[in-house]
Structure 1
Amino acid sequence: MGSSLPVIAITVGEPAGIGPEISLLAAWELRGQVRPVLIGDAAYLAMLAHDLDRNIRLMGVSQQALRHNGLPGCGKDQITVIDSPLMAHVVAGQLDPRNGRAVLATLDVAIETIQQGWCDAMVTAPLQKSTINDAGIAFTGHTEYLAQRTGSAQVVMMLACEASDHLPQALRVALATTHLALRDVPNAIQFDHLLRTLQIIHSDLQEKFGISKPKIFVTGLNPHAGENGYLGREEIDVINPVIQHARSAGIDARGAFPADTLFQQKYLKDADCVLAMYHDQGLSVLKHASFGLGVNITLGLPLIRTSVDHGTALDLAKLGTGLADANSMCVAIRIAAEMVARQAASRGATPSPNGLAK
């Protein structure tokens, strides 16, 4: 990569939200730990950097120059910006569908930088799905788009948070289903898909997190995990058979556990990851414990991708610069860097009990 530091591609997200601001702040703060490469409109980022901190120094590079010469060298107190021009003037807090395609293009550039060996991993700031859809592009989210663009048959969404004063250990929560209407969840929980989900979690916890024998606790779908069929049969017909099949293949999967009691420290202390059946079942707990410090990680991709655990915060962006909290972006960048190091290191290393990927 031309650098002793991990090179992290950072897409700055929806320009009218807080994504560009937190990307700049986090990149500048962590420039001694990683080499951050921002992907966004270079002129807009330069203007924003001037308003945030006049010490921030940016070096723009066009996509044409990048593809011809590769990623250029960069001073330790300078951040590279790969220019991905916007189509319309940015008004903070106001969405403009004319910029939808430009936002999506930053993801394509980030993927290309990794595929070409210029960057080691990608971190994504929040984007606004509606802006991309209003631009005439069918788009359901980062996770699904990255899976399609990398030819990944199945990926898994996982959110994680580091240990803290009120959370004795790192917490990782993966999802069997992601952005589905609640009425569609039961039909989406199928044997093959759920088994492959467990396989992806097991493999990535070993390879990217350095956990040699990961323990995965699985929730039920229904209250009380179905209560022996009285409250639903998904546990009996699908979830428990998948767990047994996974265990016979060497995956330490356990459950199905009632979701309303599983998220207690006396149980979580023995789990490396919890697999929840649907979005709010798992993420409500994690975000309550760590909102603003959590990280969204996509498992099953042929690249490392992390993101923040929050949205575009348009209302906050509308109030002006200097108000956004970049903590989640900083954690996302650090975890991506740790995953890069872990993936390159011995697969049998022991993880730190206080970190997500150490």
Structure 2
Amino acid sequence: MAQAPRPLLLTLGDPAGIGPELTLMAWLRREEGIAPFAAVADPDHLASLAGTFGWRVPVRAVAPSEAASVFDEALPVIPLGERVAGARPGRPDPAQARAVIESIETAVALVRGGEGAAVVTNPIAKHVLYEAGFRHPGHTEFLASLAAQGGEEPHPVMMLWSETLAVVPVTVHIPLSAVPGALTTDLIVRTGRIVAKDLRERFGIARPRLALAGLNPHAGENGAMGHEDERIVAPAVEILRADGIEATGPLPADTMFHARARSRYDAALAMYHDQALIPIKTIAFDEAVNVTLGLPFVRTSPDHGTAFDIAGRGAARPDSLLAALRLAARLSGRDAGS
């Protein structure tokens, strides 16, 4: 007897944000090359929300093995123990935090147990979770803790990916003033190795090309604008090259992202958050996908937040979530129709 196809697992996100309505929109656009997915959520909440919008979205509570078979006729939902029926769009409530966390934990456990193909996460609001006692800096770090084996956590790497540009911030959610102290040759090398490995093994790029941005303007201008590039970044490039990775840099960041420059690399490693995110959000604002590299499972996410200000209006655009679902299917070998 053939094994049932494994669905992508889409988490709840903050129930007061746009995640639940994007989930409904994604199912309504399921014929646009979207592999079967199941929401890990409260089915009553999603059914009520669909009714509010007047959208014809039949919602069906299922086991993971049933999701693919019902996907064409109904939105499959793997029910949570925690309910969020009282969630109000645009009004985040720490009382819903337990459901948000349970959804992520359940999705990861099912994928690691072979019952799901990949994890796709809807946006969460960290400050809401913090009020409920959440102890992790963010989504990515929480996923890394769930992926721990033998007490050792993997080193997660955030990549923002689109068809036209892929970028990786080496340092992520820290103040700009803290970047020079946090940036080390070891961190750059570790990040570069993980990026190259996942580009080979998951993206199918036989010989990944990495371009490393300099930290300072003009990549330091031979020390005239700071010594971090020659002291920290350049040695990392040499180590990566010695590993057999095609790495270039440090390069002036202001000339790395035009079309001709992008054709020379598969991923750009930036030294801090905005150095990476400004170019990709300029070039591919609605299509960019957040991919976590270095985990033992595939995880993607739309590259936007909870958008509490427009939640409940049905006005959010699902483009980034659709792109996240498509990429998760591609990376997990679960393309639509397979």
Calculate the TM-score normalised by the size of structure 1: 0.87
Corresponding residue for residue 80 of structure 1: 76
Q: Are positions 1:95 and 2:95 aligned together?
A: no
Which whole-Å CA distance do the structure 1 matches of 2:58 and 2:89 have between them?
Answer: 22
Pairing 1:28–2:28 present: yes
Write the distance in 2 (CA, Å) between the matches of 1:267 and 1:335.
24
Q: Secondary structure at the match of 1:322?
A: coil
Q: CA deviation at 1:258?
A: 0.8
2:39 match: secondary structure: strand
- The whole-number CA distance in structure 2 between the counterparts of 1:177 and 1:2 is 42
The letter of the residue matching 2:208 is: P
Contact 1:51 1:321 in 2 (8 A): no
Partner of 2:333: 341
* Aligned residue in 1 for 2:16: 16
Which residue type is aligned with residue 166 of structure 2?
A: R
Shift of 1:306: 0.5
The residue number in structure 2 matching 1:305 is 299
Structure 1 residues 274 and 342: CA distance shift in structure 2, 3 A? farther
* Local SS of the residue matching 1:44: helix
- Give the Cα–Cα distance (whole angstroms) in 2 for the partners of residues 92 and 128 of structure 1: 13
Alpha-carbon RMSD: 1.9
User: What is the CA–CA distance in structure 2 between the aligned matches of 1:3 and 1:217, rounded to whole Å?
Assistant: 41
Select between 132-141 and 274-283 the one with higher mean Cα deviation.
132-141
Give structure 2 stretches of 5+ with no counterpart. none
Partner of 1:327: 319
Q: Is the 8 A contact 2:290 2:302 kept in 1?
A: yes
* Partners of 1:208 and 1:30 in 2: CA distance: 24
The amino acid that maps onto 1:335 is L
Q: 2:4, 2:66 within 8 Å by CA — same for their partners in 1?
A: no
**Which residue pairs with 1:208 in the alignment?**
202
Per the normalisation by structure 2, the TM-score is 0.91
Structure-to-structure mapping, 1:162-177, within 5 angstroms:
162=163, 170-177=164-171
Answering whether residue 228 of structure 2 is matched by residue 234 of structure 1, we say yes
Per-residue CA distance 1:158-212 (angstroms, 9 max, x = gap): 00122xxxxxxx2100110111111111122112221110100000001111100
Does the residue aligned with 1:315 lie in a helix, a strand or coil?
Answer: coil
- Check whether the contact 1:57–1:79 (CA below 8 A) recurs between aligned residues: yes
Secondary structure in 2 matching 1:72: helix
> How much identity, in percent, do the aligned residues show?
39
Contact 2:15 2:84 (8 Å CA) reproduced: no
- Matched residues in 1 for 2:277 and 2:14: separation? 23
